[in-house]
Amino acid sequence: MIKTNAEGRYLVTRKGEDYLVEVRRSPDGKTFIVIEKLRKHVYKKGEEELVWEQNTEGAEEIEYDKLPQEVRRAFSSATKR
């Protein structure tokens, strides 16, 4: 596993899907773009219905077009269908 520091967290909606995009940098200067599709899980524990969602605290809501160019390039490449 590589230790990295977060440089930015963004909430992005593209083609009707919500994503959490993180820009991370390793100590040797390499940049990593982490893209997660936001999901909401509902499950039952006994009679109780519980909800789990990804933590988006501290993430900035941003339009896709306003992401940095290198982040957009990685995002587009990773989410091609």
How does pLDDT run across 47-62, given as a tens digit for each residue?
Answer: 999 999 888 999 999 9
Residue 81's pLDDT band, with cuts at 50, 70 and 90, is low
Per-residue pLDDT for 40 more than 90? no
User: What are φ and ψ of residue 58, in 5° steps?
Assistant: 85, 0
State the residue range of the domain holding 15.
5-78
- Among residues 10, 3, 55, 56, which one has the least CA distance to residue 26? 3
pTM reported for the whole predicted model: 0.79
The pLDDT assigned to 78 comes to 87
Distance CA 71, CA 81 (A): 18
Q: Is 73 left (phi over 0), alpha (psi -120 to 50) or beta?
A: alpha
What's the number of domains the chain is made of? 1
The pLDDT assigned to 62 comes to 93
Per-residue pLDDT for 65 more than 80? yes
